[in-house]
Amino acid sequence: MPPHKLKVVEAALQQTFGTSTVEDIELMTRGLSPALVYKIQVNGQAYILRLVMAINELIDPAREYACLRAAADAGIAPAVLYADANAAVSICRFIAGPPIWVGLPEKDVQLKSIAEKVKAIHALPLFPPLINFLEGMTHFRDRFMEMNMFPESATAEHFAHFDQIKSIYPINEELVSSHNDLNPANVLFDGEKIWLIDWEASFKNDRYVDLAIVALYFAANEQHIDTFLTAYFGETPTALQKAKFYLMRQVVFLYYGTIFLRMAAEMKETHDQDMKVPTLPEVKKMMGKGEVNLGSYEGKILYGKMLMQEALTEMKLPAFEQALSLLN
């Protein structure tokens, strides 16, 4: 544990448990966040200790903890025992159980269960604001372009289509409390119910951001998407709802694509310029076999290129122009 965090961690433990003695501590696998997450044992019980390590225009413990507490109070997130924005330290109940794809192997049940949790988030009183998501994507695009990983022509078509979306998408029309990072690592299953963790990226956002992120990670085909959206809306989605989802799906592809490529660029100076890689379903199969490690340079650049490729492929389909027309 970083030495400069010891004092605030000891204070958190003392206030929460009446002791600063920890019987066991384990650094959990880290995701994309710079936060440090530990599984600790105190008085024979397991908890999650989370330390925010970087505070900037996007990472704000005060906003994160406000969203976390609201979700915990609603039974969506694990119980919060301690959260101090000044110390940037939180302690929550540890959720034990199998991965959701093991605990809920039936895909329809899994998707419907996740849809109910997303509906519950979106029904919460509005989270604090952070940024217009499309403006945020523009910022991510600009930072990606500044890194000069590839010739500008390699992604010119991708971002030209993004500008089309940005010009007509009603980003402030359906604002809800939004998690904004519902990847499998943040969706836990305790054997009975689903819990959502890691609220660092949460803020008031367009509802279709969460829907598109869930589809990216949990839907393998169009039938899965239909099942998920129907469960979320409580009926077959309208043409307008499908159009908004389709367009936001492309933005999410580009959003995560630029994130993974930028992380790859921080690990290596030169890169294979070929943007042709396996498709999303193919990469998911490779990941299932343990052939892709997203913690490695190779995994990050493959995943980033794949997401960029998926966006471009879908934005060349007639469905893209049809969706634009419905919103225009």
Instruction: For residue 33, count other CB atoms closer than 10 A to its CB.
Output: 16
**Which helix (H) or strand (E) segment is 231 a member of?**
helix 222-233
Query: What average pLDDT does this structure show over 65-83?
Result: 98
Is the pLDDT reported for residue 57 higher than 90?
A: no
pLDDT in tens, 87-144: 999 999 999 988 899 999 999 999 999 999 999 999 999 999 999 999 999 999 999 9
Angstrom CA distances, 251 to 37, 76, 133, 208, stand at 29, 26, 9, 10
Q: What is the DSSP letter of 290?
A: T
CA distance 324 to 319: 9
Q: Output the pLDDT for position 155.
A: 97
**Cβ(204)–Cβ(241) below 8 Å:** no
Compute the radius of gyration of the chain from its Cα atoms: 20
Angstrom CA distances, 188 to 37, 79, 184, 209, 306, stand at 15, 14, 8, 20, 26
**Domains of the chain with CATH codes:** 3-93 (3.30.200.20), 100-327 (3.90.1200.10)
Enter the tokens of residue 309.
Answer: 């490729």
The dihedral built from the CA positions of residue 308, 311, 316 and 321, taken in this order, carries a sign that is: negative
| Position 31 confidence tier, pLDDT thresholds 50, 70, 90 | low
First-residue to last-residue Cα distance in the chain: 52
Q: Which of 150, 37, 135 is nearest to 94 (CA)?
A: 37
Angstrom CA distances, 108 to 99, 160, 194, 214, 222, stand at 16, 36, 15, 14, 13
Q: Output the pLDDT for position 55.
A: 84
CA distance 82 to 119: 26
pLDDT in tens, 210-264: 999 999 999 989 999 999 999 999 999 999 999 999 999 999 999 999 999 999 9
